[in-house]
Structure 1
Amino acid sequence: MQENQYIAVQKSPAVHGNIAIQGSKNSALALVAAACLNDNVVHLKNVPDLRDFRLIEKMLAKVGIHTSREAEEFLVDARLATDYVLDFDITADFRASYYFIAPLLKKFKKVTLSYPGGDDFGSRPIDQHFKGMKKLGARIEPEGSHYTVYADNLVGTEFHFEVVTSGATINLMLIATLASGKTTFTNCATDPEVVDVANFLNLMGHHIVGAGTDTITITPNQNLHIHELKYTVIPDRLIAGSLLMLPGIVGGDVTITNAIPEHLASLLFALEDMGLEITRTSTGITSRKVGSINGMRLVTGMYPLFATDLQQPLTALMLYADTPSSVQDNVYYNRFSHVEELAKMGIHLGRQNNVAFIHGHHYRDLVADADVNCRDVRAGTCLLFAALGAEGETRLHDVKHLFRGYENLVGDLSSLGINIELRQEVEV
C-alpha cells in the first residue's frame, strides 16, 4: 500500500509534545532470529510493527516456524521447523536475513538463502560473516544469487574482525552458541543492539561475557533448560535521536520517553554543542530550542562515536544553523543520496568524497512546491525535516523506505503539531 502513497509536508509551527519511542528495529530483527534458537515459545515485547517483520513472518511460515502478534507481544515458536531453504526473494529484500542462519543450522545443519539486500547507500560486504563462519567450522557454497551454509560440526574458536561490524558481530555470536567449546571474538562492535542480543542469549542459558566491549566470549550451554522466555526489546535510539532534532528546525520542545540516554550520548553532546537545551530525567529526554543554532563539524564512526544513521537527519538541522557545518561519514562513504534530492528544494550542498559541506541559512533558499524521493529511511528523514521550514508544500515519494524504519511516523509528527499528511499517489 505504501508504494502508492506519498507524504505531503508544509511549513510547520513550533513543536510541542511527548512521544514514546518504539522498539529498536535493528535489535528486534536479531532477537526474532535468536528466539528461533529456543526450543519453546518466546514472547518478545516492543517489536515494532514494520514491513521487515511482516516479511519475516511470511518467510518463517514457509519453513514451518510460527510467529504471531498477540496484544503487545510478538510470539516465536520454532519447534516445528520443516525446511532449511529460506525464500530467495524475501531474503534478498532485507539485509538482516542472515541472522536466520543460526536457527536453521541448529535444526538441519544447513541453510540456503539469498545474498542480503536492504538500503542502497554503498557497499556493505558480508565477508566478515563468511570468514567467521568458516573459522567456526562451517562450509559455504555459493550458488549464483544465493548460497548454502553447511555446519555438521561447529567448534569454538578465536576470531578477529578485520573491520568493526555490528551485523557480523551479532550473527557470529548467534552461530557460536551452536559450537562445542568456547569462542572468543575480538574487535567486536559495541552497539547497544549487540548487548541486547547477548542479554537474551544469556537468558536462554548460554554464557556470554564482554558484550558492549571489543572482546566477546561465548560459552555455549548444550544442556539448556527449555522454557518459555519473555524479553523486551530496547528502544530505537536512531528514531529517538532524530526526533530530538526537531526543535532546532522549527522551535519549541520535544520530550521522548522509553529512551535510554546512554545510547544517545554522542548525539546529545552534538545537539548541545549546536545550541539546543537537552534535559535528561528518569522518565525521558527533552530537547528545547532556546536560541540560535550553531553549525558544527561532524565525523561519524562506529558506536560509541556518532552514528552514521543519524548524520542525514542532523544535516537537516545544520541547514538551519547560523554558521557553516560539515559532515564526514567514515562508515559509509556513499551515504549522501539526500544531497541530490535537497537540490530539488533549492539546497545545494558541496560534496567531496565522503564529506558534505553545509553553509547554513538554507532556510532562506527553500523552495515551495518541490517533489523529492526518499532513497532510504535516513535520507527520507533528512528531506522531511528539511521541508518543515520551507514555505509551501513539499511532497516526499518512495515513502516505503521511511516506513521500513518508523512504525507511526505521520501520527507521531502530527501529535507534535507538524503539518504532515499521507496521501495517495495519482495514477497518470
Structure 2
Amino acid sequence: MESFIIEGGRPLSGNIKIQGAKNAALPILAASLLAEGIHQIDDIPQLLDIDVMVQILAKLGVNVNQEQHTISLDTRSIISTEVPEELMSQMRSSIFLMGPLLARFHEVTVFRPGGCAIGERKIDLHLKGLEALGAKIEELENRIVCRTDRLQGATIVLDYPSVGATENIMMAATRAKGITKIIHAAKEPEIVDLQNFLNMMGARVSGAGTEVITIEGVDRLHSVPYYQIIPDRIAAATFMAAVGMTGGKIALKNVIPAHLSKVIEYLQYVGIEFENDNDKMIVTRENRRLKAVKRILTSPYPGFPTDMQAQFMALLSLADGVSMIEETVFDSRYKHVKQLISMGAKIEIEGRAAIIQGTDRLFGTEVRASDLRAGAALVLAGMAAEGKTTVRDIYHIDRGYENLEAILQSLGANIERIKTF
C-alpha cells in the first residue's frame, strides 16, 4: 500500500501538459476489437485502469505493445470472447467489451464489473440496448452470456443518458444490419471521440454530442493506423481547482476549453481567473478569499460533471459564505465528506444535497481516499491545509491521474509518495 504525505500552504506555479482522457481511451481500446489488424493509439494515459484493460485485451488474445503513451494493438489473433472475472471485477469500464466482441464474434461472456464504490451503477441499459439489437442474454449468477446470429439495427430509447450504455450500443451497432438510432444519448466529449475513432475504422456514425446518434451498420471494419485521444477534461479541471485552493498561477497545455465550459463558469464565479495564450490556458488565483456558490447541481454533460463534485466541495470549504452542491448522478458519492470534516471543513448532508459553510482554514490530518475523485479532493485539501496531511489508499487516485505527485511537485507542491504497511 502507498500513501501521499503533503505539507500544505504552498501556492502553485509552472507549466504542465494534461494527460489523455481515461474515459475516452478505455472505450476506444475496447473498440479496437471490432476490426482485425494493427491499431495504434496515442496519448493513452498511464493509469491503473488502462493497465487492467490492457491485461484483459492480452487475455483475449490481442498482441499489445506499449511504449510510453502509445499502444499498438494487433487484434488478428483473438482466442477468447470471455472477459476474465478477476480482471473485470477491478474495473467497471470492462463492460465496454460486450458490444465489440458481440458485434465481431457474435458472442461474449462477462461478469459483473467492479470499479469505484460511488453508488448504484446498473448495467441494465447496456443489456437492454444489446437485446434491442438482437442479442440473446442469459444471466447465470454473476455471469452474463450474450449470443446472436447477427445483430440487427433498431431504434433504442435510453431511460437515462448513460455514457457507458451509449458507447456500448454505438460499438455493437457499427456491424449490425441496417440502421440504429440511439435516442436520449449521452453527449459527453468522450462519445464524440469514440465516434471519430469508429469512423476512421470505416463505420458510419453521426450525431455524437447530440441527443440522437445514428449508426448505419457495415459488414466489415478496418484497423486504424494512428489515432490520438482527446485531453482529459476532469484532470484539467482538477488542476484548475488546485490553483483555486492554493493560490498561484499555472499554464495548462493540451486543454479543450469548450469541454469545460460549466466548470470554468463556476471557477470564475468563485474568483479564479482564466486567460488563453496560444496553445495554453493560464489559470490564476489572487490572494483574496473565494466566493461561495449558492447552488451547484451535478448532471450529465454539458452540465456540471459529477466527477468534479468532490474537488469542488473541497474548494468551497474555503469559500466565504454558504454553498450547496446537489449530487443527482450517483447515490453514494459523499464518502469524502467525513474526511474533509476531519480536516476542519464544515459540511452537512441533507439527502442528496451537501451544505458547505466556508471556513478560512483547513488542518492537516490522516485521511483515506474512498474512490478516485474523493482521493483527488483530499489531495487538494491537503495542499491548502496547515501542517501535514496523509492520504491513504491512493491506489484509487492512480486509477485516474497519471503521476499526480510528480506533476504537483513540478508546480511547487510539497507532496511525496511513500510505502505504508
CA spacing shift, 1:334–1:245, aligned 2, 3 Å: same
Structure 1 residue runs of 4+, over 4 Å off? none
Q: Match of 1:167, as an amino acid? A: G
**What residue is the counterpart of 1:53 in the other structure?**
50
Aligned-residue offset at 1:73:
1.5
Q: Match of 1:104, as an amino acid? A: L
Q: Match of 1:249, as an amino acid? A: M
**What residue is the counterpart of 1:326 in the other structure?**
324
Do the aligned residues in 2 keep the contact of 1:14 with 1:247 (CA within 8 Å)? yes
Aligned-residue offset at 1:311:
1.1
Task: Give the match's secondary structure for 2:3.
Answer: strand
Which of 229, 232, 241 is the matching residue for 1:236? 232
**What residue is the counterpart of 1:164 in the other structure?**
161
Which of 300, 306, 309 is the matching residue for 1:302? 300
Aligned-residue offset at 1:103:
2.9
1:18-417 matches, within 5 Å, as 18-224=15-221, 226-290=222-286, 291-296=288-293, 297-363=295-361, 366-368=362-364, 370-417=365-412
Q: Match of 2:386, as an amino acid? A: E
Q: Match of 2:392, as an amino acid? A: H
In structure 1, runs of 5+ residues without a counterpart are: none
Do the aligned residues in 1 keep the contact of 2:367 with 2:390 (CA within 8 Å)? yes
CA spacing shift, 1:286–1:106, aligned 2, 3 Å: same
Matched residues in 1 for 2:138 and 2:284: separation?
54
Task: Give the match's secondary structure for 1:9.
Answer: strand
Q: Match of 1:396, as an amino acid? A: V
Which of 387, 401, 415 is the matching residue for 1:420? 415
Q: Deviations over 1:125-148 (max 9, x none)?
A: 111111111110001111111211
Q: Match of 1:146, as an amino acid? A: R
Do the aligned residues in 2 keep the contact of 1:244 with 1:286 (CA within 8 Å)? no
Task: Give the match's secondary structure for 1:124.
Answer: coil
Aligned-residue offset at 1:247:
2.1
Task: Give the match's secondary structure for 2:46.
Answer: coil
Aligned-residue offset at 1:228:
4.4
Aligned-residue offset at 1:227:
4.8
Aligned alpha-carbon RMSD (Å): 1.3
Q: Answer with 301-310 or 327-336: which moved more.
A: 327-336
In structure 2, runs of 5+ residues without a counterpart are: none
Aligned-residue offset at 1:107:
4.0
Q: Answer with 300-309 or 61-70: which moved more.
A: 61-70
Q: Deviations over 1:178-228 (max 9, x none)?
A: 21011011100000000000011111111111100000000122244x354
Aligned-residue offset at 1:376:
0.6
Task: Give the match's secondary structure for 2:336.
Answer: helix
Task: Give the match's secondary structure for 1:244.
Answer: helix
Matched residues in 1 for 2:309 and 2:103: separation?
38
Do the aligned residues in 1 keep the contact of 2:83 with 2:110 (CA within 8 Å)? yes
Do the aligned residues in 2 keep the contact of 1:254 with 1:287 (CA within 8 Å)? yes
Do the aligned residues in 1 keep the contact of 2:159 with 2:184 (CA within 8 Å)? yes
Matched residues in 1 for 2:345 and 2:117: separation?
23
Aligned-residue offset at 1:348:
3.7
Q: How many residues align?
A: 419
Do the aligned residues in 1 keep the contact of 2:346 with 2:359 (CA within 8 Å)? no
